[in-house]
Structure formats: C-alpha cells, structure tokens
Amino acid sequence: MKAINCKTEYRNNPIGIDAQDLYVSWQCQEGIMQSAYQIVVKKGSEIILDTGKLESKKMHAIIAPEHRSRDNMSWTIRLWDQDDCSGEWADGGTFEYGLLNSDDWYAKWIEPSEEIGYQFDIGTPDYMNSTALKAWNEKKHKKMKCFFLISQHQFLERNSAWIQWRK
C-alpha cells in the first residue's frame, strides 16, 4: 500500500503557511484498506517529527512540527494495509512557513529622493511646504502615468479576444 496525492493544508507544496498545526492528507493506492500510517517531517536531513506507527483508517492527520518563520520542511508517509503489511515510503511534499511573528515583519520608510528638491518644514502644519509637495507630486504622477500606459498595453494584449467578443 502506498500514499498518493499527498497534500499539506489542502495544497501541493504550499509556501507562506501561517497555521501552527498542519492538516495533511493523502489517498491510498493498492491494498484494500489502510490500517495505520506513520509520518516523518524533516528540516533538511534533521528529523523534526516522527509520529511512529498510528493505528487509523483515516487518510488525514493534524501534525504540529516545531518550527519558526520561513522554515522549509518536507514530509514522508508510510501506510499499513488491512493485513498489517507496511508499504513503501511516499513523498508527501514540502511546505514553507510564512512570517509568523510581528518581529519578522520589518520595512524601511520610503521617501522621495534628494534629486527632486524637496524641503520639509516641520514648523508648518502640513509638514511639507507647497514647493516640496508639488515636486513630489510631479515625479509621482510621471511614474503613475508610465505604469498606467504599460498596464493598459498589457491588458489590451492579453484581453483582445475578450474585447472583440464584447463588441
């Protein structure tokens, strides 16, 4: 008996998982009925979790391997049939955790560059004087116009058949 169509969190090789406990599932190939399973989770070559042989006819399980943000792991599974004969190990796939803690999220504030000639004046109520705001807006609008033209061209290329049909 062998496990096929193995999934983690209902997907093949998912990335960005934010669940602490993982739902894994599989289907059986060969044999009449599954009587037990064993799941092994690895991070690289290090075994993180080994369930041992668990008596169960269910073709899914909840596993909770120790993990941190961005950990990439793989799992394998072995099944036992109705006669208690073990099958071969099957590759369950890989999965990668996302950013799980608030400390993992970091960013840098983006500001207009020096080249557009802005001057911040903390003394004014709006923190930016009109000259700086105008310079920043001119540069921003040029970028937006360029992005819009590129996006519009790509949309028309990809959707020309749909547009013709709608006419």
Pair (124, 94) in one structural domain: no
Higher pLDDT among residues 167 and 47, named by residue: 47
Distance from C-alpha of 46 to C-alpha of 37, rounded to nearest angstrom: 20
Distance from C-alpha of 16 to C-alpha of 97, rounded to nearest angstrom: 5
Give the model confidence (pLDDT) of 54-111 as tens digits. 999 999 999 999 888 889 999 999 999 999 999 999 999 999 998 888 787 777 766 6
| Chain mean pLDDT for the chain | 78
pLDDT for position 69: 84
* C-alpha distance across the termini of the chain, in Å: 56
Pair (71, 123) in one structural domain: no
Strand 15-17 to 54-55 pairing: unpaired
Enclosing domain of residue 156: 114-166
CA-wise closest residue to 12 among 28, 25, 30? 25
pLDDT for position 135: 59
Higher pLDDT among residues 26 and 119, named by residue: 26
Pair (118, 99) in one structural domain: no
- Per the structure, the count of domains in the chain is 2
Q: How confident is the model at residue 139 (pLDDT cuts 50, 70, 90)?
A: low
pLDDT for position 59: 95
Distance from C-alpha of 37 to C-alpha of 17, rounded to nearest angstrom: 24
Residues 6+ apart with CB under 8 A from 13: 93, 94, 95
Residues 62, 64, 68, 70, CA torsion sign = negative
Distance from C-alpha of 63 to C-alpha of 163, rounded to nearest angstrom: 48
Pair (74, 125) in one structural domain: no
CA-wise closest residue to 42 among 7, 86, 87, 72? 72
Pair (125, 58) in one structural domain: no
- Out of 54, 81, 104, a domain closes at 104
Pair (96, 131) in one structural domain: no
Distance from C-alpha of 17 to C-alpha of 167, rounded to nearest angstrom: 43
Residue 115's CB: how many other CB atoms inside 10 A?
8
Residue 37, beta-bridge partner list: 54, 79
Residue 35 within any structural domain of the chain: yes
| Tokens representing residue 154 in the block | 């790509």
